[in-house]
Amino acid sequence: GNSVTQMEGPVTLSEEAFLTINCTYTATGYPSLFWYVQYPGEGLQLLLKATKADDKGSNKGFEATYRKETTSFHLEKGSVQVSDSAVYFCALSATTDSWGKLQFGAGTQVVVTP
Amino acid sequence: GAVVSQHPSWVICKSGTSVKIECRSLDFQATTMFWYRQFPKQSLMLMATSNEGSKATYEQGVEKDKFLINHASLTLSTLTVTSAHPEDSSFYICSAKTSGYTGELFFGEGSRLTVL
């Protein structure tokens, strides 16, 4: 079946450090890939997405590239801020499922210290 | 942006009672909503797909008689945990999809259920 694996947290960084959160997936066909962010006390928000191989999603300084050859969608940000502290979820929507049904990774908590 | 609201945000109940959680799309119509369950430090697990005006579609292993879903209007879906037991304690999250085959998804803040 479909699955998403992302690195365990918490990841603790200093402000302005480089952030990478690894995400790999297993799916048949060509899934769409997403990164969601959950700030404390809030619902999940879409951070970025990519719908086909080699697509790069980007938003708020975050980037992720859909790599079909390595079945990966790693999230990166060059210089994090304290406000980036949150839980980040990698997710996929399989082509065999109806749009909107998401398979999530376990989530990675990121803590950015001043 | 679009807002999805869940109520209550947290609830404590006694074992054997039933609890209803509401998911509302506040500024758009959602023909499809999804219900997820999240255990501590684990990923969100899809429980069911809720379609307005029709029966919900449950994922394998989810008891439909235990987790009753009703999507009576284009802005409201409800999840009722019937005869709740401590093992039903969890974080329940809904998402709502805007119209169109690849509509956008918006998530609620989640509802934490604790069954004593």
pLDDT of res. A14:
97
CB-based contact (8 Å) between A43 and chain B? yes
Distance CA A12, CA A109 (A): 8
Contact criterion met (CB < 8 Å) for A99 and B103: yes
The answer, yes or no, to whether residue B87 has pLDDT greater than 90, is yes
Task: Give the per-residue pLDDT at A2.
Answer: 87
The 10s digit of each residue's pLDDT in A66-91 is 999 999 999 999 999 999 999 999 99
Q: What residue has token string 């509302």?
A: B24
Assess whether pLDDT exceeds 80 at residue A12. yes
Q: Taking CB atoms and an 8 Å cutoff, what residues of chain B touch A101?
A: 34, 46, 49
Looking at residue B16, the DSSP 8-state letter turns out to be: T
Q: What's the pLDDT score for residue B1?
A: 60
HSE toward the beta carbon, residue B6, CA cutoff 13 A: 29
Q: What is the DSSP letter of B86?
A: G
Tell me if B109 and A45 make a contact (CB, 8 A cut-off). Answer: no
In angstroms, the separation between the Cα of residue B115 and the nearest Cα of chain A is 21
A99 touching chain B per CB within 8 A: yes
pLDDT > 70? residue B102: no
Q: Do B110 and A43 touch (CB under 8 A)?
A: yes
Of A42, A45, A100, the CB nearest to B34: A100
Across the range A90-113, mean pLDDT stands at 88
What mean pLDDT do residues B53-82 have?
Answer: 93
User: Looking at beta carbons, which residues of chain B come within 8 Å of A41?
Assistant: 109
In the DSSP assignment, the letter for residue A1 is -
Return the residue of A nearest to B35 by Cα: A101
Q: Which two tokens stand for residue A114?
A: 């001043």
Model pLDDT for residues A59-68, shown as the tens digit of each residue? 999 999 999 9
User: Which band of pLDDT confidence, cut at 50, 70 and 90, is reported for residue B2?
Assistant: low
pLDDT at B53 over 90: no
Looking at residue B101, what is its pLDDT? 65
Is residue A49 pLDDT above 80, yes or no?
yes
Q: Which of A31-35, A68-72, B1-5 has the lowest mean pLDDT?
A: B1-5
SS3 letters for A12-38? EEECCCCEEECEEEECCCCCEEEEEEE
